[in-house]
Chains A and B, each alone.
Chain A
Amino acid sequence: MSLTRAEMAARVAADIPAGSFVNLGIGQPTTVADHLTPESGVVLHTENGMLGMGPAAGGDEVDADLINAGKIPVTELPGASYFHHADSFAMMRGGHLDVCVLGAFQVSHTGDLANWHTGAPDAIPAVGGAMDLAIGAKQVFVMMSLFAKDGTPKLVPECTYPLTGVGCVDRVYTDLAVFEVGPHGTRLVETFGVTADQLASRLDVPLVNA
């Protein structure tokens, strides 16, 4: 069986080393937090200036001064810290974050990432912190469906959408398989409900089987 979105989030969470400093991108990657246990000691970073971010705030906890990168009210955990934007992005760019998890439109088999702009003429470009995260974190995990709604693969020989970063992605977690990507090409780590041969026949990138 292919993985549900929640199962994908749990699969990503299982690969985050205990004690890591982690940034979770807006949208689906945010749900990885639901599968991190307190015992893991993972500390969440949010680009708008906080380490030790807790779960989404509800009811009386909501504080307009305490939000995440998606501008959703959140909570703070014991040991949290606040800092300004230049420091927050120095943490990324300086290689201090262990893992970031991002969504994607496309990933190339050498680890190029396209996740900020479709390039459509009427689209308003907006990049946020995606480019800084993509090149900054020690490991970049992408979480996405393997195929677009029209059936075209999102793991591609070369991205056709505008790039976010070059050769920056390490692992790609999808509903059908987990891949390692990089300068040596794409390695198939694990499949869900399909065989390696079935996957290979639907993708345009050569796969190195684990």
Chain B
Amino acid sequence: MTLVCETTDEAVAGVEDGSTVLVGGFGMAGMPVDLIEALIRQGATDLTVVSNNAGNGDTGLAALLAKGRVRKMVCSFPRQTDSWVFDGLYREGRVELEVVPQGNLAERMRAAGAGIGAFFTPTGVGTPLAGGKETREIDGRTYVLEYPIKGDVALIGAHRADRAGNLVYRKTARNFGPVMATAATTVVAQVHEVTEIGGIDPEVVVTPGIYVDRVVELR
């Protein structure tokens, strides 16, 4: 059952210290800024955050980092022109970093959501990011073994939801949302509109409600 929350504070209630939090978005597109602000108010700390980037500007993920709530970032592209918050914390040794090739990041979460124990991928073979990892030659090509990334919580931004938790996204703001929605124990989506059941054509649903635990409409 999907819970339709009245507030973002209700939507992020119960996140525990030490949780692994999957945070949607690519840059600011699809970034669930309101849920992150609620998570800052909620107070959970010592978090491992999995997200493509490590925050932009001073809002959203950057604000969570600035509050010192993040122990470790798992991401593909932390360094950007506007990632000064992360850059400063990293250089001061106040946040750990695991860099993961972007496709491996997506596929590791897809694997977690799909019940796959691990998978062999050609991405990263022969590079420092495959260092120390098991490799195998299959049909003449070398692959590296990668393990799933499972979240305790996923915070994602979508465009619309119905009260059954079915989600549709908008343009490239879809990015990591549908994958992260499958890969966490508790999945929370912020949306611009929550419609009645039947308000979204079943043919266009991108994330079926089975994956979504809580939705909150932004006002």
Q: How far does the alpha carbon of A67 sit from the alpha carbon of B26 in the complex, in Å?
A: 9
Tell whether, in the assembled complex, residue A163 and residue B126 are in contact, meaning their CB atoms are under 8 Å apart.
Answer: yes
Tell whether, in the assembled complex, residue B102 and residue A89 are in contact, meaning their CB atoms are under 8 Å apart.
Answer: yes
Query: Known interface pairs A132-B102, A135-B123. Does A126 touch B76 (Cβ–Cβ under 8 Å)?
Result: yes
Determine which residue in B78, B97, B103, B178 has the highest number of CB atoms from chain A within 10 A of its CB, and name it.
Answer: B103
Tell whether, in the assembled complex, residue A85 and residue B27 are in contact, meaning their CB atoms are under 8 Å apart.
Answer: no
Determine which residue in A65, A76, A85, A86 has the highest number of CB atoms from chain B within 10 A of its CB, and name it.
Answer: A85
Q: Name which of A14-22, A41-49, A148-156 contacts chain B.
A: A41-49
Return B170 CB to nearest CB of chain A, in Å. 5
Tell whether, in the assembled complex, residue A49 and residue B175 are in contact, meaning their CB atoms are under 8 Å apart.
Answer: yes
Interfacial residues of chain A within 109-153, with CB under 8 A of chain B in the complex: 112, 117, 122, 124-132, 135-136
In the bound complex, residues from chain A placing their C-beta under 8 Å from that of B208 are: none
In the bound complex, residues from chain B placing their C-beta under 8 Å from that of A66 are: 29, 171-172
Q: Is B173 part of the binding interface, using a Cβ–Cβ cutoff of 8 Å?
A: yes
The digit string for A159-202, where 1 denotes a CB below 8 A from any CB of B, is 00011111000000000000000000000000000000000000
Identify the B interface with A (CB < 8 A): 26-30, 52, 76-80, 86-87, 90-91, 97, 99-107, 109-110, 121-129, 169-179, 206
Q: Is A71 part of the binding interface, using a Cβ–Cβ cutoff of 8 Å?
A: yes
Tell whether, in the assembled complex, residue B29 and residue A86 are in contact, meaning their CB atoms are under 8 Å apart.
Answer: no
Q: Is A93 part of the binding interface, using a Cβ–Cβ cutoff of 8 Å?
A: yes
Tell whether, in the assembled complex, residue A84 and residue B97 are in contact, meaning their CB atoms are under 8 Å apart.
Answer: no
In the bound complex, residues from chain A placing their C-beta under 8 Å from that of B90 are: 124
In the bound complex, residues from chain A placing their C-beta under 8 Å from that of B30 are: 65
Tell whether, in the assembled complex, residue A166 and residue B126 are in contact, meaning their CB atoms are under 8 Å apart.
Answer: yes
Q: How far does the alpha carbon of A132 sit from the alpha carbon of B110 in the complex, in Å?
A: 16
Tell whether, in the assembled complex, residue B172 and residue A132 are in contact, meaning their CB atoms are under 8 Å apart.
Answer: no
Total A-B pairs, Cβ < 8 A: 142
Tell whether, in the assembled complex, residue A84 and residue B176 are in contact, meaning their CB atoms are under 8 Å apart.
Answer: yes
Q: 5 shortest A-B CB distances, which residue pairs?
A: A89-B103, A132-B103, A166-B126, A71-B27, A85-B106
Q: How far does the alpha carbon of A88 sit from the alpha carbon of B169 in the complex, in Å?
A: 15
Return B158 CB to nearest CB of chain A, in Å. 11
In the bound complex, residues from chain A placing their C-beta under 8 Å from that of B28 are: 64, 71
Tell whether, in the assembled complex, residue B101 and residue A82 are in contact, meaning their CB atoms are under 8 Å apart.
Answer: no
Query: Known interface pairs A67-B26, A89-B106. Does A128 touch B127 (Cβ–Cβ under 8 Å)?
Result: no
Show 6 residue pairs from A and B whose CB-CB distance is below 8 angstroms, ordered by the A residue: A84-B106, A124-B86, A124-B90, A131-B127, A135-B125, A166-B126
Q: Is A8 part of the binding interface, using a Cβ–Cβ cutoff of 8 Å?
A: no
In the bound complex, residues from chain A placing their C-beta under 8 Å from that of B103 are: 85, 89-90, 92-93, 129, 131-132, 136
